[in-house]
A = this chain, B = another copy of it.
Amino acid sequence: MNSSGSLSRTEAWRLLLLVGASGGILVNTVQGDGAPLVASIALTGIAFALGFSMVRWLGPVFLKAGLKGKDMAKPRRPEIPETMGAVCAVVYLLSLIVFIPFAFYKDIVAATSGGGNRDVVVEVHHVETGRYLHRFPHGKLASYLSGLLSLQSVVILGIGDDLLDIRWRHKVLIPAFASIPMLIVYFVDFGVTQVVVPVPLQRYVGDFVDLGWLYYMYMAAVAIFCPNAINMLAGINGIEVAQSLVIAVLLLFNDAMYLAPVTPYPHPATDSHLFSIYFLLPFIGVSAALLCHNWYPSKVFVGDTYCYLAGMVFAVVGILGHFSKTLLLLFIPQIFNFLYSTPQLFKIIPCPRHRLPKFNAVTGLLDTSVTEWPIPPSPLVAAALHLLHKLRLARITTNEDGEIVESTNLTILNLWLVWMGPMKENRLAWHMVVVQTACGILGLLVRHRLALLVFHHDNRTFGLV
C-alpha cells in the first residue's frame, strides 16, 4: 500500500485488465435481448477499478483541501484523508446511472406487454415478465430513479455532515430527508400499503391489513435506522466498510435465491430481487475498492458519507424490493449495538464525544474505553451497572469505598474487548466481520425456516421445506 497518490505499475495493469475484461463483457450484453444481470456484474468490475484508482489519486488532493483526520489508534497518530467515501459514492452513483439503458432500454419494453405500471395488472404483469429471465419491467424505471434520488440526497447531506459540524440530533434526521424522494415516488406510483397478516392474527383482522400512512412511517423508520446504525458501529479501521460489505453480500445471496436456476420461474418476487441485485452489485464493487484503502492500517477514512450511503442502499433495496423485515434480520449486531448504547445516547450514563476503543501505545493493542464518573452514579444507575458487570455486559472499576469511578463505554466493540481482552485493531475488525456474518446467516435461516410458523408459506419455495 502506498499513499503517494498514484497507482503502482502492478496495480495499474491489474485494474486495466479488469476494466478491459469488464468492458468487453459489457459491450457484449448489448446484443440480442440484452443481459442486464451480466451487464451489472461487468459494471461492478469497472466500478471497483475506478473506485480503487480515484481514492488513490484523490487522497493527496483531499489532504491539501484540509479534508483529513488523525488515526488515534496508531503510535504516531498519522493524518490521513477523510470523507473518501464521497469519492466511492460518486463512482457508485455513476455506475447506477450508466446501468439504466442496460436494464430499461425501450426495445425490451416492446418485447414485454407494455410496461406501464398499472396497479390492477401488476400481478399478471409480474408473471408475464417472469418468462423473460433477468428481464426488468420498464414500469420500474420511476422506482429505480427514485431510489437513485434518495441515494444522491443522502450523499449531498452526508458531505454536508462531514464538512460542517452538525449536531447529533440533526444528523440523525439526514436519512429521513434523503428518504423523501423514494417515499414520494412510492406514494405516487404504487401506493401499496397492505401487508400480509401472520396466520395467528388472521382470524381477527383478515388476511391483509392496510396500514395506510403508518406504512410510510415504517418505511421512513427503516430509512432512518439503517444509515444511523452503520454510522454508530464505527471507530476502528475498516469496520464501517467491512460490516456494509458483509450485509451487502448476504443480501445478494438472499436475492439470488429468488432467481431462476434456484427457484422455479415465473416467481412473483423475481423482479423485486433483481432490483435489489442491481443496486447491490456496484455497491459491493466500490465498497471492496474502498476497503482496500481503509482496512488496517487505514490509508484513508471513509467519513459519515459512506455510512449514510451504505445504510441508504440497504434501505432502498429493502423498501423498494419489499423485504424490509428480512433486511432488519441482517442488522442484528447493529440493533444490539444501538440498544446497548441507549443508556449513553439518552445520557443516563455520561457519553463522551468518542467511544472508540482505546489504543495502548505500550502493548500496541486496543482495550476498552471508559466513561469516568467524577461524581458517583445515582444508586439506581449504580445498581444497573453492577448488574451489567456481573452479567459480563460491561466492566466497572470501583474505588476503595465501593463507588464506581469508571465504566466501559457501551458499544459492541468495547463489549467484545470486555469478553475477549485487549487485541490488535485488525483482529478486532476480523472478529466483527465474523460476528456480522454469523448473525446474518442465522437471521436468514430464521427468516426462511421460521416464516412458515407465522405465514401460510414462505415466499421462497425452498426445495427442502
Contacts and interface: CB of A to CB of B under 8 A. Distances in A.
Interface string A154-167: 01110110011100
Interface string A128-164: 0000000000110110011011001101110110011
A103 to B, nearest CB: 9
Contacts of A119: 106
A112 to B, nearest CB: 12
A3 to B, nearest CB: 17
A66 B66 contact: yes
A149 B106 CA distance: 20
A106 B188 contact: yes
Contacts of A101: 184, 187-188
Contacts of A117: 116
Interface in A56-108: 58, 61-62, 64-67, 86, 90, 93-94, 97-98, 100-101, 104-106
A209 B125 CA distance: 36
A431 interface: no
A159 to B, nearest CB: 6
A24 interface: no
B181 A97 contact: yes
Given A163-B67, A164-B61, A164-B62, A185 B153 contact: no
Contacts of A61: 164-165
A180 interface: yes
B62 A106 contact: no
Contacts of A152: 149, 152-153, 156
Contacts of A86: 160
Interface string A275-311: 0000000000000000000000000000000000000
A179 B422 CA distance: 51
B90 A156 contact: yes
A266 interface: no
A interface, how many residues as a size bin?
Answer: 35 or more
A406 interface: no
A262 B185 CA distance: 32
Contact of A165 (B65, B114, B165): B65
Interface string A171-204: 0000001001100110111010000000000000
A240 to B, nearest CB: 20
A97 B149 contact: yes
Contact of A145 (B62, B104, B145): B145
A104 B188 contact: yes
A411 to B, nearest CB: 27
Contacts of A456: none
Nearest to A104: B188
A115 interface: yes
Contacts of A67: 163
A101 B146 CA distance: 13
Contact of A118 (B114, B141, B145, B159): B114
A185 B145 contact: yes
Given A64-B165, A98-B184, A148-B149, 18 more contacts: A93-B156, A100-B181, A100-B188, A101-B184, A105-B187, A106-B188, A116-B117, A116-B118, A116-B139, A138-B188, A141-B142, A141-B185, A142-B145, A145-B145, A145-B149, A145-B181, A159-B159, A163-B163
5 closest pairs, A vs B, by CB? A116-B116, A145-B145, A152-B152, A104-B188, A100-B184
